[in-house]
Amino acid sequence: MAGLKDIAAASGVSVRTVNRALKGNGYVGKDTRDRVLRAARELGYRPNRLARSLRMRRSFEVAVVAWSTDELHMARIAVLEQRLRPAELSVTVLLGSRHGSTGDQQGLLGETLARRPAGVALFFPPGGDVDRWVESCQQQGIPCVLIDPPEKMPASVRIDRQQGVYEAVLYLAQRGRSRIAYLGGQKDTTRLEGYHRAMSELGREPIYLDVTSVSDQTQAGRYAAELFLEMSPRPDGIQAYSDVMAMSLLAGLHEHAVRVPEDVAVVGFDDRQAASLAWPALTTVAQPNAGIGRAVADMLLETMPDPSVRLDEGICLPTRLVVRDST
Amino acid sequence: MAGLKDIAAASGVSVRTVNRALKGNGYVGKDTRDRVLRAARELGYRPNRLARSLRMRRSFEVAVVAWSTDELHMARIAVLEQRLRPAELSVTVLLGSRHGSTGDQQGLLGETLARRPAGVALFFPPGGDVDRWVESCQQQGIPCVLIDPPEKMPASVRIDRQQGVYEAVLYLAQRGRSRIAYLGGQKDTTRLEGYHRAMSELGREPIYLDVTSVSDQTQAGRYAAELFLEMSPRPDGIQAYSDVMAMSLLAGLHEHAVRVPEDVAVVGFDDRQAASLAWPALTTVAQPNAGIGRAVADMLLETMPDPSVRLDEGICLPTRLVVRDST
DNA sequence: TTGTAAGCGTTATCAC
DNA sequence: GTGATAACGCTTACAA
């Protein structure tokens, strides 16, 4: 494959001149430039990124560290990549396993650092041992942006799930639903807080379809349907923890001939592909995936020229209620 | 960051010796080796992949070129990555846009080649202009495996959709369904052929729920439901082109109080996440995603030592019928 | 306006 | 067993 040297030979100038002509950073005679450019084109020159990075002691790749190939993650990554491309940065996805040992995670950290990326976009790691990542990056002077940590953190992009649920519950109330229940476990605090906030604002007592005991989300909703049937009076609105739970709930309700939304309205959370495919099409709280991708890219771009710039403020993006047929 | 030179200095030997000790390829005195290894560990040495690749004139990255972040694609990529990791190969995903111009695609090809990857795993490109990719790779001596082309091709991994549909239709017949229809457009030949083969083997006339005119898959099923209602006698089994269409069909049927599977059985195709979440949980033809990932990895691994090895045979993987509640 | 040459961190060829 | 040393393809200080 053609290199600078080949072009130099072909156009009868030195390597340095070729470089200048190609990069346009120094003085080059017009004739010379044209000759060089043409030679480059004819030889099908493609700069060698490896050599370039080695010499410049920095790479032009952003490492995205993810722990699953979930569609929501991927949507964010796709936007991130689009946004980074104009800045001549390419994206490499490193996939860790969600259930990997601490050692595995350490290994992935090593691999990530070994690439000497221009920046790191880190999905919040399972186990939550985020400090090691952040510190290691800092040490190497690599900007690191954290995606969706559970709490407020510097250099992070979060999602306002609380507000999302809050708004959805208010929406249910506004549509005339008076007994609004929350379907989920008791561990996820943010969404639950949103529910509590809305309910207390409405002056109503919270109703729980508590599925803490069910570990499989795809079954949790069915279990909740049983709970629902035994209640009296029954809830007439349900905010679910996720679309998956909501759809499992729908299945359970259908089986007992409970009508949605006539008897009970259901709201999901996530807005995955499946939500619009559900029957009835699921009203749900959409995560701002594109917004996250953009925000992460912007933060990275902002810190990259000078990694000592500290982003002390993380940002928090709003969700969006997507109304479909289940409410 | 520590390099070979630092280790050499720290342990009082030459760079060459450090290299030998670390790589274990030449003779190194036991003492020396231990000293070097310890120094390396203490300095937290991480080989610089850039320098390594530059020197060895080959990279240790496989470029995966995909055109969407569809969950099926991602599942394949995840397995591919797992399989390549033990061979010290890492995976970089390059995302092209599905609706990009020819120029965009040309650009992506350039970018891919510029990385000088150890191999390329190429999802069949939109527009089908696969030759440019294959030839370019060949020219550079880069092994290239094609994922899921519509036709038999060398160095490709395909899915036997025909057989998948064939088996599903036979299964429906075996479960006592006598009027089995095909829901889909007329353009996709492979799946349709499978349907035709099964029907002719059963000695029955094909029944079409033809949605060629509907471009949006998420609406096609609803439209098909209207068609279904007007038929007499109505089909009692439907093989759909995809899970998405099948779920859209389910919605349409539910709205008209057609019972599934009592009145009509429905089979999807793809086995996406949504299929198991549908109501009723969708029986569907599962794509061999893991198998594809593995096969692509194996082909790549096989050709990589010597790119002149020609894989004249592509392989074709079987699907698997996943029986759930819709049949 | 152009050229020379050093060096980025490896690997690999030789000589000792 | 070990050590100089020359590449790999690029960028860039410094000379001319």
Distances from the Cα of B166 to the Cα of B169, B210, B241, B318, angstroms: 5, 18, 12, 11
H/E element, A168: helix A161-174
State the nearest Cα–Cα gap between B220 and chain A, in angstroms: 12
The pLDDT of A12-33, averaged and rounded, is: 89
Confirm if A123 and A65 have CB atoms less than 8 A apart.
yes
State the nearest Cα–Cα gap between A46 and chain B, in angstroms: 6
Whole-number mean pLDDT of chain B? 93
Q: pLDDT at residue A307 above 70?
A: no
Query: Could you tell me the end-to-end alpha-carbon distance of chain B, in angstroms, rounded to an integer?
Result: 61
Distance B83 CA to C14 C1' (A): 38
A78–B46 C-beta distance less than 8 A: no
Distance B12 CA to C10 C1' (A): 19
Whole-number mean pLDDT of chain A? 93
Contact with chain A for residue B69, Cβ under 8 A: yes
The pLDDT of B204-209, averaged and rounded, is: 98
Q: Which residues of B touch A247 (CB under 8 A)?
A: 277-279
Q: pLDDT at residue A154 above 70?
A: yes
> Distance from CA of residue A319 to its chain's centroid?
13
Structure confidence at residue B13 (pLDDT): 92
**Residue B75: which of A69, A78, A113 has the nearest Cβ?**
A69
Structure confidence at residue A140 (pLDDT): 85
List the nucleotides on chain D closer than 7 A to a protein CB: 1-13
Given pLDDT bands bounded at 50, 70 and 90, which one contains residue B51? very high
SS3 assignment for A60-76:
CEEEEEECCCCHHHHHH
Residue that has been written with the tokens 């342990």 in this structure: B11
Confirm if B22 and B34 have CB atoms less than 8 A apart.
no
- Give tens-digit pLDDT for B237-279: 999 999 999 999 999 999 999 999 999 999 999 999 999 999 9
Distance B87 CA to C10 C1' (A): 20
- Give tens-digit pLDDT for A108-132: 898 888 888 999 999 999 988 899 9
Contact with chain A for residue B284, Cβ under 8 A: no
More confident residue, A100 or A66: A66
Confirm if B155 and B299 have CB atoms less than 8 A apart.
yes
Confirm if A90 and A292 have CB atoms less than 8 A apart.
no
A47–B50 C-beta distance less than 8 A: no
**The two three-digit tokens of residue B288, written as one number:** 């061999």
Contact with chain B for residue A77, Cβ under 8 A: yes
- Give tens-digit pLDDT for B266-319: 999 999 999 999 999 999 999 999 999 999 999 999 988 776 777 778 999 999
Structure confidence at residue B307 (pLDDT): 66
- Residue B127's CB is within 10 A of a number of other CB atoms, namely 13
**Residue B279: which of A59, A92, A254 has the nearest Cβ?**
A254
Structure confidence at residue A106 (pLDDT): 87
Structure confidence at residue A65 (pLDDT): 95
Structure confidence at residue B2 (pLDDT): 86
**The two three-digit tokens of residue B81, written as one number:** 């990555």
Distance A55 CA to C7 C1' (A): 8
State the nearest Cα–Cα gap between A266 and chain B, in angstroms: 15
DSSP for B176-214, please give it: T--SEEEEE-SS-HHHHHHHHHHHHHHT---EEEE-TT-
CA-CA-CA-CA torsion sign (A148, A150, A155, A160): positive
Q: At what angle do helices B161-174 and B189-202 cross, to 10 degrees?
A: 40
Residue that has been written with the tokens 């691994």 in this structure: B301
The pLDDT of B165-194, averaged and rounded, is: 96
Q: pLDDT at residue B77 above 90?
A: yes
Look at residues B2, B5, B25 and name the one whose alpha carbon lies nearest to residue B15.
B5
Measured between alpha carbons, how far is B72 from B176 in angstroms, rounded to an integer?
31
- Give tens-digit pLDDT for A191-238: 999 999 999 999 999 999 999 999 999 999 999 999 999 999 999 999
Q: Which residues of B touch A54 (CB under 8 A)?
A: 48, 50-51, 54
Measured between alpha carbons, how far is B138 from B129 in angstroms, rounded to an integer?
15
Contact with chain A for residue B56, Cβ under 8 A: no
More confident residue, B44 or A246: A246
Q: Which residues touch strand D (CB under 7 A)?
A: A 1, 3-5, 15-16, 19-20, 22-23, 25, 45, 47-48, 51-52, 54-56; B 12-17, 20, 26-29, 31-33, 51, 54-55, 57
Contact with chain A for residue B54, Cβ under 8 A: yes
The pLDDT of B145-153, averaged and rounded, is: 95
Greatest mean pLDDT among A186-190, A252-256, B53-57: A252-256
Structure confidence at residue B113 (pLDDT): 87
